[in-house]
Structure 1
Amino acid sequence: MIFIARTFQKTNPVTNRDIAVDPVESKAEYLVLEPAGYPMTSILEEYPEIEDSGVFEHYAREQWKGVVAVKGEYLFDKRMYPDFAYKVKEVEPPESVIGPDTCIIVRDLTDAVIPKMEFRSKISFDDVIGQPSARQKCRLIERFLEEPERFGKWAPRNILFYGPSGTGKTMFAKAIANKAEVPILPVKATELIGEFVGEGARQIHQLYERAQEMAPCIIFIDELDAIALDRRHQELRGDVAEIVNALLTEMDGIVERPGICTIGATNRTDTLDPAVRSRFEEEIEFVLPNEKERYQILESNIATFPLEVADVDLGSLARMTEGLSGRDIVEKVLKTALHRAIIDDRESVTQEDFEISVKKIKKVNETLNPEKMYI
């Protein structure tokens, strides 16, 4: 069989002819394909519908075993639908060989929202400073993803992460996926809102259908309040009821989808629909860093600066940044101070640069209501 894939060759010094060589050692962990159609007019014009994803995955692995998958290139069917092309949309690791354990997924051309899967996220718990309580509670999710069959009906299917923005909720979800060595589907809730009535509900079901194909895995829905808005506020969003109902259907497990853990994240628990919030078996709070943790955040990030840091009192800065999240410290204090020094063509960042950045963000935060909005 012949497939379009990157060719790897070397020259035989004796015959001076090219010979094929094994291109890469790494095996593909997962492969996402998209139907591309026939290269020219064919007597088989119909689209090959996939009724059972598991059967197709086995069929695809057998057919393309040993082929190097390269993002952007094509694989051709040579059996049931000769010359029908599938475009490689994602492959991890890049340019790796399709093997007996490769997870193969075909995207539906009608899908409006297909979140990019992250397989074995590179973020670890060592990348997140603080949050000891959340760290401990997340061990349950790790164990479930490692041994989903052990939990049976007692599986932790729905977990809510809540707390101020920038405290590490997204990073924690990715760290769990990394620790358990499972895929994660991270998606912002706003991306699931359709343009027409009914579209939002369809996209939520599609999200869970895709997750089912790669279970065990995590669905991480950020900004959950965007789609799980309290239905008393329907005048703000006319289609919110059907979106909430679709989410409730999936969270209730009416359609059995074993091995999927839904993690919702929000900084506005007061706006969540009570029915949605009640579906979460566990609520894990993320808090702002204390002085010691702010010191660690400052120290670890300043160490990566491309410029020198002159006579900076980290203890003083840690006290000054009280009430700021880790992301605020990195993005609005440290980055702003560094950029100030670069704009001034200086070779070092000073204490004054940091203090100016802190005062600027503090002034902005004073105008916001801490009871209703997190910074």
Structure 2
Amino acid sequence: MKFNNKTQDSQSTNNKVINVKFDSKKEAKAIVLQGIGYPFNFPLMESHNLEVSDKNLFECYAKEQWLGLEVVEGSYLFDQKIIPDYGFKVITAHPNNSIISENTSIVLISEETSSKNELEAITTDLEIKDIIGQDQAKNKCKIIMRYLESPEKFGKWAPRNILFYGVPGTGKTMLAKSLANELNVPLYLIKATTLIGDHVGEGASQIHNLFELALKTQPSVIFIDEIDAIALHRKFQYLRGDVSEVVNALLTEMDGIHENEGVVTIAATNNPEQLDYAVRSRFEDEFEFTLPNEKERIAILDKYIKTLPLTVEPTSKKLAKLTKGMSGRDLKEKILKSSLHNAISNDDDVISMEHINLALNKSKSENQSPKNMFV
């Protein structure tokens, strides 16, 4: 009895403290929890994976005891009812550092699900203006932004499924991140390769969980990178684990089995022509990402050169002429970073044309190597 009274007093005290802060803190739109266990070895609980028989019932149970509490990603909540002092880790809180309210969606996931990180919202400070070039894709993104600002106005005309395609390193992921950041909506980013599991049904389950959480936290964006890893032509899918099952789950969700109002699914690929037609046909629109022209390369180089710890001798205009056909990522990683490391390793105080030429030759050599012949 003393334990229960202490628990009750503690909970009461927490609520009083939080009530004072409530006006200055944002309400949590959604939180994702993972069962961690007890702070001490406790023989009655051998597993940390609690099985929830009714998700809505768990949500009511959680709100009843944690209503008004502040949640921060990485912090812990403790049960004070059926399994006192059992710990739950806050995997995701949207927004972070917010308050649990009656409107908060609370999702419990298993340790296996959490380890794949597919239910964690990505945070970034990227803005659309940070992306140089890709004017056509950025312009077409206006429809996504308008929709996520007012989903109820679009109805059946909503832009639900969009394909980003183009050469690697041209800003596909950056644009998705900047969209979510500017609209202040959660972005759930997952690589398609992580959906190919060791057990049948694992990847399909991840897909359904992902869309369920996105719907609960709408308006939101789902970004599936490297979708060609699972959505190759059907005749190849049987070679790669439970890929067919994952694709079927994805198609079911993209078809809008739950309507998915306020949720935009964006998939990215470097090879759109290799996608299975059943998957590609689900995208209402396709945004092409192209290699930067000379003017854009100058702007990209200027942007990155400003942040380098060493001075660059050749002008960005000269470098832009030497790097035709390179993506923004290539300019940063293969040319500037490689040149910087070479200069530092030789105890040079500036990045000279000699360092640039070494980086250029190395890049050309890598592009001509056998491993890149079929990319």
8 Å contact kept, 1:120–1:182: no
SS of residue paired to 1:236: coil
* Aligned-residue offset at 1:35: 2.3
Correspondence 1:1-375 to 2 at 5 A: 1=8, 2=10, 26-27=25-26, 29=28, 30-37=30-37, 40=42, 47=50, 49=52, 51-53=54-56, 57=59, 60-61=62-63, 63-79=65-81, 82-91=84-93, 96-100=97-101, 103-109=104-110, 112=113, 113-118=116-121, 121-234=124-237, 236-309=239-312, 311-367=313-369, 373=375
When residues 119 and 361 of structure 1 are mapped into structure 2, their CA distance, relative to the original with a 3 A threshold, is closer
One-letter identity of the residue aligned with 2:253? E
Taking only aligned residues, the RMSD between alpha carbons, in angstroms, comes to: 3.3
The 1-side partners of 2:281 and 2:95 are apart by 39
Aligned sequence identity (%): 47
Q: C-alpha displacement at 1:345, in angstroms?
A: 1.6
Given that 1:230 and 1:274 are in contact with CA atoms closer than 8 Å, whether structure 2 keeps it comes out as yes
| Unmatched 5+ stretches in structure 2 | 1-7
CA deviation map 1:22-72 (0-9, x unaligned): 6995546453321234565779x995736344x755664564345343444
Confirm or deny: 8 A CA contact 1:31 1:91 kept in the other structure: yes
- For structure 1, the 5+ residue unaligned runs are 10-20
Q: Given that residues 27 and 102 in structure 1 are in contact (C-alpha distance below 8 angstroms), is that contact kept between their aligned partners in structure 2?
A: no
Tell me the CA shift for residue 357 of structure 1.
Answer: 1.0
CA 1:173–1:272 in 2, change beyond 3 Å: closer, same or farther?
same
Query: What per-residue deviation string (whole Å, max 9, x for no partner) do you get for residues 300-348 of structure 1?
Result: 1011011222x32221110111101000110110000011111112222
Structure 1 residues 107 and 262: alpha-carbon distance in aligned structure 2, compared to 1, 3 A threshold: same
- Offset at 1:248? 1.0
Letter in 1 for 2:138: R
Q: What TM-score, normalized to structure 1?
A: 0.83
SS of 1:106's equivalent?
strand
- Quick check: 27-36 or 262-271, which moved more? 27-36
Q: Distance in 1 between matches of 2:196 and 2:188?
A: 17
Q: Is the Cα–Cα contact under 8 Å of residues 24 and 97 in structure 1 kept in the other structure?
A: no
Which structure has greater helix proportion? Answer: 2
What is the alpha-carbon distance in structure 2 between the residues aligned to residue 139 and residue 265 of structure 1? Answer: 18
State the TM-score, normalizing by the size of structure 2: 0.83
Structure 1 residues 281 and 122, CA, compared in 2 at 3 Å: closer, same or farther?
Answer: same
Give 1:15's aligned residue. none
SS of corresponding position for 2:211: helix
Q: Amino acid of the residue matched to residue 106 of structure 1? A: V
More moved, 346-355 vs 325-334: 346-355
Whole-Å Cα distance in 1 between the matches of residues 23 and 33 of structure 2?
20
Alpha-carbon contact 2:297-2:328 (below 8 Å) kept? yes
CA shift in 2, pair 1:197/1:71, >3 Å: closer
SS at match of 1:149: helix
| Cα distance in 2 between the residues matched to 1:370 and 1:86 | 46
Does the CA contact (< 8 Å) of 2:67 and 2:102 recur in 1? no
Q: How many residues align?
A: 355
Q: Which amino acid counterpart does residue 100 of structure 1 have in structure 2?
A: S
Which amino acid is the alignment partner of residue 101 of structure 2? P
